[in-house]
Amino acid sequence: MTPEEYFSGLIQSGTEYHEAMRATRMYFPHWNPASAQPQYPVTGVQTSPYQQVQQPAQSYIQQSQPVAQYYQQPTQYISKKPERTFYAPLITLGLVVLLMFTPFLTFQHDELSNSEEEEVCELLYSSIQYGASGDDFEIDDLDTVNCPMNGFSSTFYSIETIADLDTDQFTDDTSGSDSDGEGDVESEEAMFGISLIMLFLAPIIYLLLSILALVSVGLKKYPTLVGALQLIYVILFLVFSSMGVIGDGDFELSAGGNFAGIGMYLIGFASIGYFIRK
């Protein structure tokens, strides 16, 4: 095989011109390619058909990458606002409804047994109800009051007592008072009366505040104000009750210590759940 034939075979197999020259000289060191140059003037710039087809595809991929990155970048900065949840207020509302079944109006004293406390409780609340209406109280009417009363039964009791309230007897009492102030009510008795009225109104106020809390949740707002009002109410009741202790050292009475049931305090302090934003 001559050097020209070997060189031509490399060119025909797709080898570039310079590679074919170097390979031919390895086997034929004394070969002079001067006579072969005119026969292959354009072999140095030839490219294979595969490379000609592939170059546009590569350039297309390189150009498409920045475009894809351009459309993907805005999604990295999108942040979804956390949705409000009202689990804590709803749980608090359910807890208030359950606690309304606990005792609200009762009577407790260390010197009385359980049966005696129940009899005294019925006697006291019956006398309060008949005294507010101005009717004469009879022992046979004790069956109208059952002690202790839970939040719902005490609500009906309080509404009935307030509805039958006779205001004329208060005007008659004030008109017959002495000018020297001998008939003025002492501060302890006044505080006892205020705290007792707050106790009677507590179940009604708690139910109204629960309705407001439910409306607030329905409007997608946290019932923080409702919780604050409910908490302030029970704290004021404790303050007035501690200031309104009546009786002597042997037998003392207060609205918070003797007449208020556990439900009064549990529902009042359960309003802390309205402050939790979950």
Does residue 91 have a pLDDT over 80? yes
Residues 22-53: b if buried by 16+ CB within 10 A, e if exposed: eebeeebeebebeebeeebeebeeeeeeeeee
Q: What is residue 81's DSSP assignment?
A: P
- Nearest to 151, CA basis, from 83, 214, 105: 105
Residue 117: the pLDDT is 86
User: ω into residue 82 within 30 of 0, thus cis?
Assistant: no
Output phi, psi for 130, to 5 deg.
Answer: -75, -30
CA atoms within 13 A on the CB side of 92: 32
131-139 long-range contacts, CB within 8 A, separation 24+: 132/161, 132/162, 132/164, 132/165, 132/166, 133/161, 133/164, 133/165, 133/166, 134/166, 134/168, 134/169
- What share of the chain has pLDDT > 90, as a percent? 37
Confidence of residue 139 (pLDDT cuts 50, 70, 90): low
DSSP, residue by residue, 149-163: EEHHHHHHHHHHHHH
Tens-place pLDDT, residues 191-226: 999 999 999 999 999 999 999 999 999 999 999 999
Place of tokens 């350039």: 59
What's the gap between Cα 89 and its chain centre? 6
Residue 231: the pLDDT is 95
Q: Which residues pair with 252 in a beta bridge?
A: 247
Tens-place pLDDT, residues 44-59: 444 444 444 344 444 4
Greater model confidence, 165 or 149: 149
Confirm whether pTM is higher than 0.85: no
Distance CA 129, CA 136 (A): 10
DSSP, residue by residue, 197-209: HHHHHHHHHHHHH
Tens-place pLDDT, residues 162-193: 887 766 655 555 444 444 444 445 788 899 99
Q: For the ranges 7-16, 44-53, 194-203, 231-240, which has the lowest average pLDDT?
A: 44-53
CA atoms within 13 A on the CB side of 174: 5
Distance CA 43, CA 221 (A): 82
257 Cβ neighbours under 8 A, 6+ residues apart: 108, 241
DSSP H or E segment with residue 4: helix 3-12
Helical packing angle, 151-163 and 114-133, nearest 10°: 30
